[in-house]
Amino acid sequence: MRSFFSLGTKAVDRPVSPGPSEKAASEDAASEDAAAEPVLECPVADGPVQELKALSADEQAVLARLRSEIPELVRDLPPIDEASRPFVDEAVPLDIDEWLTDECLARYIRARKGVYEDTRRALRKTIEWRAATRPHALRPDVVEIESRTGKMYLNGFDLLSRPIIYMYNHRQNTREPDNQIRWVIYALELCIRQMRPGVEKVTLAIDATGWGFSNAVSIGTARRFLDILSTHYPERLGRAVVFQPPRLFTAFYSLVSPFIDPVTKAKVAFVSTSDPARPAAGDGAASNSPWIAIEDCFDRRRLEKDCGGDWLFQYRHDVYWPMIEAEFARNKARLLARQQGQR
């Protein structure tokens, strides 16, 4: 995925070994005297977290009602659909029972404005989707091609301990929308597993330098991603921060923004790393989004240099991917042990 609104280009088969451009990127990274160890676990156990809006008395009543209906909500779930089967590890147990927490119910209630019927319908839709597509069981080998060049990955946490997903437009290497979206889903599931108690949202750090219409996906693909985010991951986006957006990007954003719900749109922010105090003339109006300073969301010492921070991090696939595979194996073992304990 190239950016929040630009997911991919060229269709390619999954390679056995990196191509020339990927080798060059790897060699360049290896030659840098920079930190290559990514941060996948929050180093702060008790720092500040994003304050969530408390449920009203009416919303609390909806929560209690939904909680009592969980056995019915999870009844007669569909099997894995044939379209998803080739991409998942079927040995990974279904995780609906631990996914459907009070916090999860509250997110859906907030997203559906406290309307019981809408909330129940949305919950059941996602429960069926999770049962049929098994997003938590997507295999790392399926999406590895999407990570080879470091175009999108989890690395570190922001000032409110929210996981940061970095997105680099100029590192794009694929054009297969289905697999790009699978990688987005995989990254979101990974972030959720890494959230410490009290944290429910993610932050997107989007490097928009080099963005252009020639490497942007169709509005239809962008809408598909936004639909998955709002439908199956409601209230999970904390901030989407776009660094150095060129005018072409803000023009494209103006085309996409009508399809973004107002709550999500309010979470999109822009940063000018050359002049963090204010945007370039006219860009703020063109994007119709707030411009912020880096310090409003990030600790510069823990923000990658490519996004205007001080952290000399260079993505290396040979370092990053074994950590992803190990995390997947640990989570699979945990779910299997949990399933065994419930028998």
DSSP string, 66-78: HHHTHHHHTSS--
- Our CA dihedral for 12, 186, 27, 217, rounded to 10 degrees, sits at 50
**pTM for the whole structure:** 0.85
Comparison of pLDDT for 214 and 240, the residue scoring more:
240
Q: Are 268 and 226 within 8 A, CB to CB?
A: no
Percent above pLDDT 90 for the chain: 65
Maximum distance among all Cα pairs of the chain, rounded to whole angstroms: 63
Comparison of pLDDT for 241 and 6, the residue scoring more:
241
Taking 50 as the threshold, does the pLDDT of residue 33 lie above it? no
Average pLDDT over residues 177-194: 95
CA nearest 100: which of 79, 128, 58? 128
Taking 90 as the threshold, does the pLDDT of residue 69 lie above it? yes
**Mean pLDDT score of the chain:** 85
Taking 90 as the threshold, does the pLDDT of residue 126 lie above it? yes
Taking 70 as the threshold, does the pLDDT of residue 15 lie above it? no
Confidence band for 273, pLDDT divided at 50, 70 and 90: confident
Q: Please state the φ and ψ torsions of residue 204, each to the nearest 5 degrees.
A: -100, 125
| Distance from the Cα of residue 84 to its chain's centroid | 20
Q: Which domains does the chain have, with CATH numbers?
A: 20-45+139-323 (3.40.525.10), 57-138 (no CATH)
In DSSP notation, 8-58 reads -----PPPSS--HHHHHHHHHHHHS-SB-----S-S-SSS--PPPPPPPHH
Residue 174 is predicted with a pLDDT of: 86
Residue 34 is predicted with a pLDDT of: 53
Give the Cα separation of 154 and 262 in Å (integer): 26
**151-183 pLDDT, tens per residue?**
999 999 999 999 999 999 888 888 888 998 999
| Distance from the Cα of residue 267 to its chain's centroid | 14
Residue 212 is predicted with a pLDDT of: 64
